[in-house]
């Protein structure tokens, strides 16, 4: 079985969530014996369709443009058994590179009109390969894919053998989501194997591949903080991620989800401890972090029996958290105080270093 995987993401490696999902799918297909070729559209020269219809008249089946689409991609598309169209969701549909690719498959059909299932269509010049659409999107709701789903189904009809829509894509490289991601990635490889074996993906496997990983309530506070931090620091989101920057909390309510996200259960072992913060200055109030059996409870208000109590100006602790101030030095200079089990203070960065 010949598979052509067309990836239209402009990004690469771990930064490209399209590529992450596609790699697992391709891995599964290869394990099942398929001959898979991955084409990255960002490396190809594909001119826009100019609507001259030369491919329908003067040179039937061949586009007028002399570029990578005509010389390489179109013949590969025409001759493969399955074509995976892997695209980031941009403005609720395929991105521009993918749309340019799709438009340039016009020589696949003849110019004539025929009525099929009550609608006007062009008859095929070549039989279309089976199509798999894979798309990733930043938003958490599945409905974000409504337009691409409708488009893909209208365009490819019965040739569309699988639709893989991965929400909350930007979490795909998030260490704190690794456990959930493991199953998504395993299921995606399984989906690849099923595609080669049965030309479809089972309902169960697809549900695992596309399982929700977050929702608006969990995503928005952290996401908004991260964007605000980028704006304040004058860095791109790519630089923010590369430098392992931390979204700077602006309130106790946003401090708590940042701590939940940063919590590293692999470092806490069997530690059972409660750390309380008494914040002063611009943001006043109490909150606590209760670590038990590698799980974390992060709540507002004072704790009953804290093992460590930190009294600090809010902004100072946020400076320490985001690496703008040295925690040890600030402690020596008595800019904040800590009482109780000071070992917890020393280990703080380790426990919340995700
Ligand atoms: C121009 C642009 C438009 C986007 N439009 C949407 C959108 O409509 N819905 C959505 O959920 N995410 C949207 N996103 C987020 C991307 O789908 C998301 O970041 C995805 O992971 C990008 O794929 P990549 O990681 O392979 O680059 C958009 C991103 C960009 C840059």
pLDDT value, residue 150: 98
Pick the atom of ligand 1 nearest to 167's CA: 11
Structure tokens at 283: 């943001």
- What value does the mean pLDDT take over residues 332-352? 95
Please state, in angstroms and rounded to a whole number, the distance separating the CA atoms of residues 51 and 11. 29
Tracing tokens 């998030």 back to the chain, one arrives at 174
* Ligand 1 pocket, residue 89 CB under 6 Å: yes
Provide the pLDDT for residue 294: 84
Whether 279 has a pLDDT exceeding 90, the answer reads yes
For residues 94-101, give the mean pLDDT: 98
Q: Is the pLDDT of residue 167 over 90?
A: yes
* Atom 24 (ligand 1) nearest CA: 16
pLDDT tops 70 at residue 176 = no
Q: What is the mean pLDDT of residues 175-200?
A: 92
* CATH fold of 2-209: Rossmann fold (3.40.50)
- Least-confidence region, from 152-156, 230-234, 259-263, 317-321: 259-263
Half-sphere exposure for 235 (CA within 13 Å, toward CB): 16
Please work out whether the CB of residue 194 comes within 6 Å of at least one atom of ligand 1. no
Q: Strand 119-121 vs strand 285-292: parallel, antiparallel, or unpaired?
A: unpaired
Per-residue DSSP letters for 76-99?
Answer: HHHH-SEEEEEEE-BTTB--HHHH
Residue 261 has pLDDT above 90, yes or no: no
Query: Residue 19 CA: which ligand 1 atom is closest?
Result: 26
Instruction: Report pLDDT for 110.
Output: 98
- Report residue 195's pLDDT band, with 50, 70 and 90 as the boundaries: very high
Q: Where do the structural domains in the chain lie, given as residue ranges?
A: 2-209, 257-351
Task: Tell me, using a 6 A CB cutoff, whether residue 95 lines ligand 1.
Answer: no
What CA dihedral angle connects 313, 315, 316 and 320, to 10 degrees?
140
Lowest mean pLDDT among 61-65, 158-162, 215-219: 215-219
The reply to whether ligand 1 has any atom less than 6 angstroms from the CB of 91 is yes
Q: How far is the CA of 170 from the centre of ligand 1 (A)?
A: 9
- Which one of 1.10.3720.10, 3.30.1050.10, 3.40.50.300, 1.20.120.1200 gives the CATH number of domain 257-351? 3.30.1050.10
2-209 matches 257-351 in fold:
no
User: Could you tell me what percent of the chain has a pLDDT over 90?
Assistant: 90
- Contact in structure between 93 and 44 (CB atoms under 8 Å): no
Lowest mean pLDDT among 10-19, 176-185, 301-310: 176-185
| Mutational pocket test of ligand 1: of 24, 42, 89, 223, the residue with most ligand atoms within 8 Å of the beta carbon | 89
């Amino acid at each position: 079985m010949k598979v052509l995987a067309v990836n239209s993401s402009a990004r690469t490696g771990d930064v490209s969530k399209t590529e992450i999902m596609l790699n697992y799918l391709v891995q599964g297909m290869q394990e099942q014996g398929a001959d898979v070729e991955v084409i990255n559209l960002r490396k190809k020269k594909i001119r826009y369709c100019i609507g001259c219809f030369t491919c329908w008249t003067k040179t039937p089946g061949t586009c007028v443009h002399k570029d990578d689409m005509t010389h390489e991609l179109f013949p590969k598309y025409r001759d493969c058994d399955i074509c995976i169209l892997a695209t980031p969701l941009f403005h609720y549909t395929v991105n521009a590179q993918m749309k340019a690719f799709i438009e340039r498959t016009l020589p696949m059909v003849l110019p004539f009109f025929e009525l099929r299932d009550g609608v006007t269509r062009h008859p095929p010049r070549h039989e279309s390969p089976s199509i798999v659409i894979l798309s990733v999107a930043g938003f958490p709701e599945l409905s974000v894919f409504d337009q691409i789903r409708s488009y893909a189904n209208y365009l490819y009809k019965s040739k569309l053998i699988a639709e893989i829509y991965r929400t909350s894509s930007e979490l795909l490289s998030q260490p704190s989501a690794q456990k959930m991601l493991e199953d998504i990635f395993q299921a995606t490889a399984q989906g690849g194997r099923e595609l080669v074996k049965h030309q479809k993906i089972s309902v169960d496997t697809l549900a695992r591949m596309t399982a929700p990983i977050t929702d608006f309530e969990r995503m928005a506070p952290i996401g908004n903080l991260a964007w605000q931090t980028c704006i304040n620091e004058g860095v791109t989101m790519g630089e923010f991620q590369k430098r392992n920057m931390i979204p700077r909390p602006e309130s106790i309510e946003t401090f708590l989800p940042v701590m939940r996200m940063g919590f590293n259960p692999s470092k806490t072992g069997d530690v059972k401890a409660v750390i309380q913060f008494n914040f002063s200055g611009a943001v006043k109030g109490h909150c606590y972090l209760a670590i038990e059996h590698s799980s974390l409870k992060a709540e507002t208000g004072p704790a009953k029996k804290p093992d460590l109590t930190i009294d600090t100006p809010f902004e100072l602790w946020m400076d320490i958290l985001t690496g703008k101030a040295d925690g040890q030095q600030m402690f020596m200079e008595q800019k904040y105080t800590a009482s109780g089990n000071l070992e917890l203070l020393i280990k703080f960065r380790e426990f919340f270093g995700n």
